Amino acid sequence: MGKSATTKDAQALFHSLRSAYAATPTNLKIIDLYVMFAVVTALIQVVYMAIVGSFPFNSFLSGVLSCVGTAVLAVCLRIQVNKENKEFKDLPPERAFADFVLCNLVLHLVIMNFLG
Amino acid sequence: MAASEDAKASSLRYAFGNVIAFFILLLIGILAFSIRLFSVKSRDLQVIKYESVIHEFDPYFNYRVTQYLTKNGIYDFWNWFDDRTWYPLGRVIGGTVYPGLTLTAGTLWWILNSLNIPLSVETVCVFTAPIFSANAAWATYLLTKEVKGTGAGLTAAVLLAMVPSYISRSVAGSYDNEAVAIFALIFTFYLYIKTLNTGSLFYATLNAIAYFYMVCSWGGYTFIINLIPMHVLLCIVTGRYSSRLYIAYAPLVVLGTLLAALVPVVGFNAVMTSEHFASFLVFIIINVVALVYYIKGILLPKMFKVAVTLVISVGLVVCVAVIAVLIALVASSPTMGWSGRSLSLLDPTYASKYIPIIASVSEHQPPTWPSYFMDINVLAFLVPAGIIACFSPLSDASSFVVLYIATSVYFSGVMVRLMLVFAPAACITSGIALSAAFDVFTRSIKFQLPGLSGNSPIDAGDTSSGGVVAQNETVKTEKKEDPGKERPSRKTEKNEDLSKERPSRKNKKKEKENVEKISVKPQEEKRLLVLPLEASVIAIFLLVLLGAFYVVHCVWAAAEAYSAPSIVLTSHSHDGLHVFDDFREAYAWLRHNTEVDDKVASWWDYGYQTTAMANRTVIVDNNTWNNTHIATVGTAMSSPEKPAWEIFNSLDVKYVLVVFGGLVGYPSDDINKFLWMVRIGGGVFPHIKEPDYLRDGQYRIDSEATPTMLNCLMYKLSYYRFVETDGKGFDRVRQTEIGKKYFKLTHFEEVR
């Protein structure tokens, strides 16, 4: 009986999560997709490393950190352009995007350097 | 109409204030620069006391590296294999040195030369540290301004410009990593706070780059990469998480780790050693927390509760598993993945137990109480007040300052050299304290004297008065710096008048706007903060006195205590100043009288100077990376002549350099360092036993000394023909007659 209550709760939770998320604007959804993609890529690389080995360690590191970094920066961008975030009301989305691009540029310059 | 005029006046006033603040910062920079020049010129600025020489030991190595860099370019520098040290091993300089300082000075030199300002590399090296201390003062201003406003910022900058602890590491000629690293440290913290306050990715990028500069400059960067995660964790635990915190921290970890891995000396350590694990752990935590806050935001409270119970039951299992794996990974390495120096920080007794070579360096010893007073002086009393001021009100930024001071106090208690990390924190908190105190007192005075503050006694004194008072302080200290210390008080009074008038003008406008709005309650609150007039006047006077005392102490410390280069010794006697230039004479002798490829053996302290000044190959030097090699030299020094000769012969050594100060009374000579040679040698070669050199646990060189001591190479080389100087063989450092006076060297001979 307890188990069925848990599954019911989980189902309700899932539904409410889904309905809540459906209200998200499309541009935020795109960013979410981007983040998911980056995270999944990082996970694939980690799994590959676990199977094959981490020999060119700098390549592995730059690959994973590139994905993680991209994801983190995209999350930051998402936080900044989210209309519901009161903290960033004065920040125009253009400025947020420019910062995002700059940060990405630095990140990937470093990664290209580190790739070896 | 009137309102617009007032607005114009107030904006003009702000502009004026900015100009003044800028001017004061300029003066602070000049002060920070010039107070460090005592090592070049003497106090009356007429006589050159010392030349512009490079001080100490490590700076000589840095100077040599810089010379190489300017001569051969950056690519050769990265690939530089140095065969002049650690004979016969050699050393890969490019991959084992923190390149920040060298690159900075090299760039400075290159810029100056391309502007047709022909300065020598040495001059640039000598003045790098003072230049960067001015930068550090400005960075302190920025940091403190982010925490508590302009007034506190200016006060902290003045304090930092003069703090003796920092002066001791950054006088002209002290060309060491710390010189630029302290600036980098403060600037990184400033950018972190700035990102935390604004939530801008732009500053987060700059923060990562500043962190990169810090990693380039000094091994102390691990302090940053542990302190910032600690602060983030503190914020999360105390429920102060915000999305600004995420933006300040998460990009810094990813970018910072990558950038740190780019520096050859750090390399993969940036992800492999335990010093950095804290940052990754907190990175994971902050991501989870961010997700939780996000979900909390989009869900209804009731559903969120359900989610929490679900996630906790599943998540606990996962967490335990992950932590178990992590612990297993970390525990699998013998030292838990911590390097020796970090371990000796966490466990202060570690170094003396296991690594004598770290414990043997005097700057790795714990400091004594007087050294706190010597190094930070009155700041020690102001720091607690500053911490209290940080708590009212507690913001993210001020909690960071509190955390910074708490950790750095601990570290400075472990190692005297880390006093340097503590000094900026002390300056920042003291600046906050002083500024807050002046704020309260001047407001009280203004409240009590309605004539001065015009028609608004109640609202008189807002944040700006603190700023002006702090400016007072700086102007005053600048005045003190000048040789004539006659009239600081008059100046102060004038400025105080100024400070009283200026806020009042602004308050008129405020008054007009808020006549109706000001209720009784805020008035009551303001009234409570007011102190009696006499008390506040006396308190201000005492604070000014305290500041004056600090300035006098700092100037004294800069002029007398910290500016003497250890390679040029001076002594005052009744017939004037004596200058002993024996070190440089000895190195010059080596340079001119020995073959280019001769090997010189000496204790490791003199390795850098021998390579830099004499240009001869040495066996060991101050970069203590190979304990066995140092132990070999230590063993040779503590063996009798024949085994010592055999050891040195196997190392192709032709000359042995010992430093002896018994005749002139120079205390840090080789005889006083000898026990460390025995300890380090005995740590690797067990036939050297420390008790053999001690008589009843006492280290002595007189007639009571043990035969092992009297027959060892160091004793013989130091005291050979010593008795011929005064007939008795009286050692002025040990204050005793030596034990064995007449002996001949069998396997070595004295050079002339």
B258 vs A20: CB contact, 8 Å cut-off? Answer: no
Dihedral in degrees, nearest 10, Cα atoms B707, B708, B713, B718 = -50
pLDDT at A21 over 90: no
User: Which chain A residue has its CA at the smallest distance from B291's CA?
Assistant: A75
**Pick among A64, A84, A110 to test the B interface (most B CBs inside 10 A):** A110
Percent of chain A with pLDDT over 70: 96
CA dist B587 and B584 (Å) reads 5
Q: Chain A interface, mutation test: which of B191, B215, B247, B263, most A Cβ atoms within 10 Å? A: B247
pLDDT of residue B467: 39
Report CB contact under 8 Å: B255, A102: no
Cα B198 to chain center, whole Å?
28
Å from A78 to nearest chain B CA?
Answer: 10
Residues of B in contact with A96 (CB under 8 A): 201
A107 CB within 8 Å of a chain B CB: yes
Output the pLDDT for position B338: 62
Nearest-Cα distance to chain B for A35, in Å, is: 13
Query: Contact A79/B261, CB-based, under 8 Å?
Result: no
Largest CA distance in chain A: 58
Mutate which of A103, A104, A113 to test chain B, going by most B C-beta atoms within 10 A? A103
Interchain pair A13, B202: CB under 8 A = no
How far apart CA B660 and CA B662 sit, in angstroms, is 6
Contact A76 B310 (CB under 8 A): no
Q: How many residues does chain B have?
A: 752
Model-level pTM? 0.83
Among chain B residues, the shortest Cα distance to A58 is held by B268
Q: Is B655:B600 a contact under the CB 8 Å cutoff?
A: yes
Query: Is residue A16 a contact partner of residue B306, using CB atoms and an 8 Å limit?
Result: no
CA gap B391, B148 in Å, rounded: 11
Nearest to B277 by CA among B253, B251, B248, B241: B253
Cα B77 vs. chain centroid, distance in angstroms? 26
Q: Which residues contact B129 (CB under 8 A, 6 or more apart)?
A: B36, B169, B170, B171, B172, B173, B174, B175, B176, B179, B180
Question: B379-390 and B419-448 helices cross at what angle (nearest 10)?
Answer: 70
Q: Does B209 touch chain A (CB under 8 A)?
A: yes
CB spacing of B247 vs A79 below 8 angstroms:
yes
Which residues in A lie closer than 8 A to residue B290 (C-beta atoms)? Answer: 75
Cross-chain CB nearest to A102 (options B205, B271, B306): B205
Provide the CA B398 distance to its chain's centre, in angstroms: 21
User: Would the CB atoms of A99 and B200 count as touching at under 8 Å?
Assistant: yes
Nearest Cα to Cα of residue B491 among B505, B503, B502, B475: B475
Residue A61 has its nearest CB partner, among B208, B261, B299, at B261
Q: What span, in angstroms and rounded, lies between the C-alpha atoms of B60 and B53? A: 10
Q: Hey, which residues does B81 pair with through a beta bridge?
A: B92
Q: Which residues of A touch B299 (CB under 8 A)?
A: 16-17, 20
Q: How many residues does chain A have?
A: 116
pLDDT under 50: residue ranges of chain B: 43-47, 453-525
Give the per-residue pLDDT at B480. Answer: 40
- For residue B546, which of B534, B556, B538 has the smallest C-alpha distance? B538
Among chain B residues, CA nearest to A91: B200
Check if B312 contacts A (Cβ < 8 Å): no
Distance CA B570, CA B51 (A): 13
- Fill in the DSSP letter of residue B530: P
> What are the two backbone dihedrals, phi and then psi, of residue B5, each rounded to the nearest 5 degrees?
-60, -40
Give the one of B204, B243, B259 whose C-beta lies nearest to A110's C-beta. Answer: B259
The residues, any chain, with a CB within 8 Å of residue B626's CB and separated by 6 or more, are: B86, B89, B620
Question: Which residues of B are less than 8 Å from A101 in CB distance?
Answer: none
- Residue B577 forms beta bridges with which residues? B572
* Distance between CA atoms of residues B222 and B218, nearest Å: 9
- Window 36-55 of A: residues touching B by CB (8 A cutoff) are none
The token pair at B315 is 């998540």
Task: Please tell me the predicted confidence (pLDDT) of residue B574.
Answer: 66
Q: How far apart are CA B57 and CA B607, in angstroms?
A: 8
Question: Which residues of chain B does A69 touch, with a Cβ-Cβ cutoff of 8 Å?
Answer: 251, 254-255, 258
Residues of chain A with C-beta less than 8 angstroms from the C-beta of B245: none
What are the two backbone dihedrals, phi and then psi, of residue B469, each rounded to the nearest 5 degrees?
-65, -40
Query: Which residue is associated with the tokens 């989210």?
Result: A82
- Domain locations in chain A as residue ranges: 26-115
How many C-alpha atoms does B162 have within 13 Å on its Cβ side? 30
Q: Are B201 and B227 in contact (CB under 8 A)?
A: no
Mark yes or no for CB contact B298/A21 under 8 Å.
Answer: yes
All structural domains of chain B with their residue ranges = 578-737
Chain A residues in contact with B242 (beta carbon < 8 A)? 87
pLDDT of res. B4 = 65
CB of A115 within 8 Å of a chain B CB? The answer is: no
Q: How far apart are CA B295 and CA A17, in angstroms?
A: 8
Structure tokens at A71: 């994801």
Question: Do residue B202 and residue A65 have CB atoms under 8 angstroms apart?
Answer: no
Q: Name the minimum distance, in Å, from the CA of B304 to any CA of chain A.
A: 8
Contact A6 B255 (CB under 8 A): no
Q: Which residue in A has a C-alpha nearest to residue B253's C-alpha?
A: A69
- Choose, out of B254, B293, B302, B313, the residue to mutate when testing the contact with A (most A CBs < 10 Å): B254
- Please determine, looking at this structure, whether the domain spanning B578-737 carries the CATH number 3.40.30.10: no
Pairing of strands B91-92, B576-580: unpaired
List, edge to edge, every strand of the sheet that includes B653-657: B617-618, B599-602, B653-657
Residues of chain B contacting A110 with CB distance shorter than 8 Å = 255, 258-259, 262
